[in-house]
Amino acid sequence: MCNAAPVNRTEIEITLNRGRADALEMIAAMDEEELRAPRTRSEHDVDSWWSWADHFIHISLIERNFNAMIRRHLAGEQGMDRAMVDESGKALRPLGDIMAYVHELTESWKVKHEGKTLPELVRISSAIRAETLQLLSEIDDEQLQSKIPGAPWSDGTVGGIMAAHAGHWKMHRNWAQEAQPAEAVSG
């Protein structure tokens, strides 16, 4: 039995839906030029710039990977990706190693989806969000409260990690809004 505070699945779903609506409304209001303009420099490749479209699809990769982590955990397997934890599966690798892995992974996802239309990006991300909501519907309250060993997100519980997706978009939105676009840096 877990000692974590009770997790409110209704609040998780509300948080997920509000975050998703915020992302969709913001992206849908952009014209193609704004959507594709370089906003932030890649953390993996200094010659690569991320647009609003790249930030939008990035959050879906992380959501997909978190869903897989949760499913592994609930199946009794090591939840955390092996690239992020030491041999015990309980301690995180050094932060620099983790971030290098994450930045390489996310840059490859960005490259894979570059040039896709906004409707296609929304379709891809909608399918992943549907998986998240399906997973939420399958998990009982005790499972929502279970902690994934080594998970540094939120409070480390399955429910906390699921709810973190809305905050992930807000973080990327803030980075892209505060960034000095590529033309300002090069001009």
Per-10-residue mean pLDDT for the chain, 187 residues long? 59 93 96 93 80 94 94 88 70 76 89 96 98 96 91 88 87 81 57
- The Cα–Cα gap between 91 and 82 comes to 11
> pTM score, two decimals?
0.85
CA–CA gap between residue 114 and residue 97 (Å, rounded)? 26
The pLDDT assigned to 5 comes to 45
H helix or E strand, kind and range, residue 40? strand 40-41
What pLDDT, on a 0 to 100 scale, did the predictor assign at position 1?
A: 36
Q: What is the pLDDT of residue 179?
A: 76
Which pLDDT value is given to residue 80? 72
The alpha carbons of the chain give a radius of gyration, in whole angstroms, of 17
Buried b (16+ CB within 10 A) or exposed e, 134-144: ebbeebeeebb
Give the pLDDT confidence score for residue 186 in this predicted structure. 54
